[in-house]
Chains A and B, each alone.
Chain A
Amino acid sequence: MAFHLGKPILAMMIMAMLSGAVILTRRQQRSTDLVVWIFADSHAKSYRDAVETRLAEVAGAGKRRLAVASAGGFRVGDRIEIDGGSVSEAGVLAWVSADAAKPWLELKEVLKSAHAKEAVVRVPSLLELHQRQTGLSSQINVISTRALDVRLISLFNSRSRDVPDLVEVEIGSVGKYFRPPLDEVGFLPLNKFVDRDGILDQMVRTRFAPWSKQGVIFGMPHDLHPVTITYRKDLFDEAGINIASAKTWDEFQDLCLRFQEYWRRRGGSERRGARYAIELPQAASDYLVTMLLQRRINIIDDYNRVHLNHPKVADTLVHYAQMVAGPRRIAADATPGGDLWARDLARGDLCATITPDWRAGFLYVRAADIAGKVAMMPLPKFEAEDAPTSTWGGTMMGIPRTARDPEASWALLKRLYMSAESLNARQRINKILPPVREQWKDPVFHQGDPFFGGQKVDELYIELAEQIPPRYVTPLTPVGSQSLALVLADAVAYVRNHATEPREKLEAGLRGACQKWLDREAEDLRKRIDFGRFE
C-alpha cells in the first residue's frame, strides 16, 4: 500500500523512530555520584583538569630532580605521582623550573626507586582526589549563567529532587534566589556546617555577606576580590606626581588634574589628543557602586531596605560626576569590548584603572608590553571611616536544599574550595585571592611581582582583603544599579550644563538635584520591593 502522507513524512517517521531509539536507550540516570554545575569554564578547569607530563630521562633512586617533557602547569607544593606502570611513587614538589628548553621538577624528598623514561608524572585533579578518598565520582556540567539560572529557578520552584549536588552562582545572579522567604530559598542553609567546621574564623567574615540573607548563609565564597587602583607608575613618575600618596578622592583628583596638565603641555595620546588619568565610565554604575561600598552603602541591604537615597550617595555622585565631566574631569570610558581597557592602559590613553584581583589578571595577557611600568595602590577614601578598598564581582558555591546527600555535597565543596590542593589548582588558572586565610601563607602570595615593578601586590590584596566592606545582593539589586545609572547620566549632564559655575555653587546645586533624583528612584525601588515581597 502506498504511503499517502508523502515521502517526506515517511522519511521523518523513520528518522523519528531511529533517533527515538537512540534517545530511549540513552542512559537516563546520572553517570556519576555527584553532579556540579559551573558557569565559568576556568573554574571547571581548575576542578577537573589534571596536570600530566612524561619523564624525559630516567630518574634515579635517591635523586630529587625529574627531567620532564614539560613543566607547564606544575606548581611548588603540588603532590605529584610518578607512574611507570608497575611502580608508582608520590612526592611534593619543592621547585619547578621555568626553563622551557630543559624543564625539570624537583621534589622535597628523594626518590625511593628509579623510574624509567616515559613514566607519567601527574598531579591528579581535585575531583579525582575526591574520588580516591571518598569513593564518590563527580562530574562537572558547564552551563552559561543565564541558562543555569533558568534551570535552577525552575528546579527550586518545583521542589524537584533532580537538582545538582553543588552549584556555582555568580554575584550578579544570586539575588533572584533570595526572593522567596528564608525557609523557601532553594539553597540549603550552611550555618550548621560552617559552625561545625569552624569556617567563620578561617575566612574573612564580611565575604559571607553577598551569599547570605539576614544572617542565614546560603553559599560559600569562592573569592574576595579586594579592589585596588593600578596605575602607570612610569607616566606618573615622569610627571613628578606621587599618586600613591593620595589618601582621599579629593587629593586624588587634584593630583590627577596636575598629571593631566603636565601631559597636556607635553603632548598627549593619539586617541583623544588628551591623556586621562583614570578609567571611569560615564554611563555605567558599576564603579560608582564600588565606591559606595567603600562608604559601606549598599543600594539595598539584605533586609530589603533601600539606601539609594542616603545622603552619602548624592555626595558620592557629586564627586564622581565631576571626575567624569566638567572642568575637573580626570576620567574617560575605556574602549568598548571585552578587555580593551588593558590596551588603553598600555597605550597610556588612560593611566589608571580600578582593579579587583580578577581584573588585574588580564594585564599579564593583554598588556604584556607595559610590564614593569605599573604599580598598585589602595583606593582613596571619601571620609576617614571609609574602607580603603571595596569588592567587585564574586562567585559562591551552594548546595540545593533538595540535594540527595548534603553531607557528601559539603565534603566535595570543602575539597574544591578549602583543601590544600585547591589553592594550586586555582593558581594554575588565575591568580585570584582565595578566601581561606591559611592559604595566604603560601609563598606565591609573598613574592615581588616583576610586572608591577617588584611590588608585592598580593600582599597588598591580602592586607586589603581584611577590610572588605560587606556587600549584599537582593532580587532587585540589578534594578537598583540601573536606577543609579540613570541618576548618574542626569548628574553628568548637569555638570556639563553648569560647567562655568564656581565650584561651590555647582556642587551645591548638583547635590540638591541628585538627592531629588535619588529620592524618586528610591521610591520606585521601594514600590517594587513591596510588590515583590513574599514575607
Chain B
Amino acid sequence: MSRDRLWNLQARLAPYLFVLPFVLLFVVFLLYPIWRSIVLSFYKSAGPRKEIYVGLGNYAFLLKDRLFWLAVANTAMFTLLSLLIQIPASLGLALILNNKRVKLRGVFRFAFFTTHVVGSVFLAVLFAMLLAPRAGLVNRALGLFVGHPVEVNWLGEPNLVMPALLLASLWVSVGFGMIYFLAALQAVEKELYEAAEVDGAGKWAQFRHVTLPGIKPVMIFIILIGTIGGFQLFELPYVLFQGGAGPKQRGLTIVMYLYQHGFESGNLGYAAAIGWVLLLLILAVAIVQVRTMRATQEA
C-alpha cells in the first residue's frame, strides 16, 4: 500500500529534512564566511573588488602594530576587571536571594535581572547621559556623597574611560550572572549540605566544599561567557564615544579596531586578520581559564 510506503519514507527522511534547513544555512552563512575570511586575511583590500595578495603580511604587521596592542591591552584589562567584579557580585546576590527568608525575592530578582534586556547601544546612549559632567546622575550622586558638586569628566579623561565602561557594563552583567548562579545554587542537592553539617562543617566550610564545587560548571560557563563577551566589546565604547575611541584612544577595543579597518577604511583583509588573532586570543585565555579551574578542583 503506497500510503504505508509514504509513511515509511517520511519516517526515514524526517530527521534529515528537519536538520536540512539548519545545515544548509550553517554551511552557507557560517562555514563559508569563516573560510572566506581566512582567505581574505591573506590579502589587503579596498573593498570586495580590489585585492592584492600579501601572504602573511597582515599578520606580520599586526604583530608590530602599536595601535592593535593598545586595543588588546584595553580589551584585556576591561575583561579582567569586569570578571573580577562581576563574579563575586553576582554570586553574592544569588546567595542572598537564594534564602527563603528574604522577602520579595521575586521582585528583587526581576529588578536585578531587568537590566539585562537593555542592548549595548541603548545602554551606551543611556550611560552617555548618566555620565554627563554637569547634569549626569552619577556625578550628582557622587556630589551628594562628598558634599559638594563634582564635575567628573567621565568620558573626557583618559584614566576614567575604563571605570566608565565598567560601570555601564556591570550594571547589565551582574544581574545576568546572578540568574545563572541562582539556578545553579538551587540545583545543588540539599543532602550534600545536610551531610556536611553532620560532619560538623560551619557555614564558610560548607560554602567552600559544597556550594563552590556544586556550582562549578556554571561558574566556568559564566567566566567563559564573560571572557568571550568582554573580548568582543564594541558597541558600548563605540556609541559612548560617538564613533571614536575616546580620549587617548583608551576606549579602543579589538573589535573596534577591526571595524575601523574593515568598514571605515575598507581594508577587509586586515580586518579579517584582526578577527582571527582575536579568536586565537580568546582561545588562549579560555584554555588557561579552564585549566586553572580544573587545577583548583584537584587541590
List residues of A whose CB falls within 8 A of some B CB: 144-147, 149-150, 153-154, 156-159, 176, 179-180, 184, 283, 336-337, 475, 479, 482, 524, 527, 531-532, 534
Contacts and interface: CB of A to CB of B under 8 A. Distances in A.
Given A144-B243, A337-B156, A184 B46 contact: yes
Contact of B264 (A149, A159, A337): A149
A179 B61 CA distance: 18
Contacts of B66: 524
B47 A156 contact: yes
B148 to A, nearest CB: 15
A476 to B, nearest CB: 10
Contacts of A336: 133, 153, 156
B55 interface: no
A96 to B, nearest CB: 38
Contacts of A150: 263-264
B159 interface: no
13 contacts: A150-B264, A156-B47, A157-B49, A158-B48, A176-B264, A176-B266, A179-B265, A180-B46, A527-B64, A531-B44, A532-B267, A534-B44, A534-B46
- The residue in B47, B153, B267 that gathers the most chain A C-beta atoms within 10 A of its C-beta is B47
B153 A146 contact: no
B153 A157 contact: no
Using C-beta atoms within 8 Å of the partner chain, give the interface range for chain B. Answer: 20 to 34
- The residue in A157, A176, A534 that gathers the most chain B C-beta atoms within 10 A of its C-beta is A157
Contacts of B242: 146
A109 B44 CA distance: 65
Given A145-B243, A150-B264, A153-B265, A180 B50 contact: yes
B52 interface: yes
Interface string B229-266: 00000000000001100001100000000000001111
Given A144-B243, A337-B156, A524-B66, A158 B47 contact: yes
B57 interface: yes
A153 B156 contact: no
B264 A157 contact: no
A385 to B, nearest CB: 35
Nearest to B153: A336
Contact of A159 (B49, B133, B156, B267): B49
A179 B265 CA distance: 8
Contacts of B47: 153-154, 156-158
Q: Is chain B's binding surface mostly helix, strand, loop or mixed?
A: loop
Interface in B46-77: 46-50, 52, 57, 61, 64, 66-67
A147 B264 CA distance: 9
Contacts of B153: 336-337
B44 A157 contact: no
Contacts of B50: 157, 180, 184, 534
A153 B48 contact: no
Q: Is chain A's binding surface mostly helix, strand, loop or mixed?
A: helix
Nearest to A146: B243
Contacts of A159: 49
Contact of B61 (A153, A157, A531, A534): A531
Nearest to A284: B247
A337 B156 CA distance: 8
Interface in B101-135: 133
- The residue in B49, B156, B248, B265 that gathers the most chain A C-beta atoms within 10 A of its C-beta is B265
A532 B268 CA distance: 12
Given A176-B266, A179-B46, 20 more contacts: A146-B243, A147-B243, A150-B263, A150-B264, A153-B263, A153-B266, A157-B47, A157-B49, A157-B50, A158-B47, A159-B49, A179-B267, A184-B46, A283-B248, A336-B153, A475-B265, A527-B61, A531-B44, A532-B267, A534-B52
A153 B133 CA distance: 34
A534 B43 CA distance: 12
Interface in B27-49: 44, 46-49
A184 B249 CA distance: 31
A519 to B, nearest CB: 15
Given A149-B264, A176-B265, A475-B265, A532 B44 contact: yes
A158 B50 CA distance: 10
Nearest to A475: B265
A527 B65 CA distance: 10
B48 A157 contact: yes
A180 B263 CA distance: 14
- The residue in B44, B133, B264 that gathers the most chain A C-beta atoms within 10 A of its C-beta is B264
A146 B49 contact: no
8 tightest CB-CB pairs across the interface, nearest first? A157-B47, A146-B243, A180-B46, A336-B156, A153-B266, A176-B265, A531-B61, A157-B266
Contacts of B133: 336-337
A180 B249 CA distance: 26
A107 to B, nearest CB: 46
Nearest to B57: A531
Nearest to A180: B46
B55 to A, nearest CB: 13
Nearest to A153: B266
Interface string B253-288: 000000000011111000000000000000000000
A147 B133 CA distance: 26
Contacts of B44: 531-532, 534
A524 B263 CA distance: 23
A407 B52 CA distance: 34
B51 to A, nearest CB: 10
A153 B264 contact: yes
A207 B97 CA distance: 66
A287 B264 CA distance: 26
B165 to A, nearest CB: 19
A117 B57 CA distance: 75
A527 B266 CA distance: 19
Contacts of B67: 479
- The residue in A147, A159, A336, A531 that gathers the most chain B C-beta atoms within 10 A of its C-beta is A531
A427 B67 CA distance: 42
A285 B248 CA distance: 12
Contacts of A524: 66
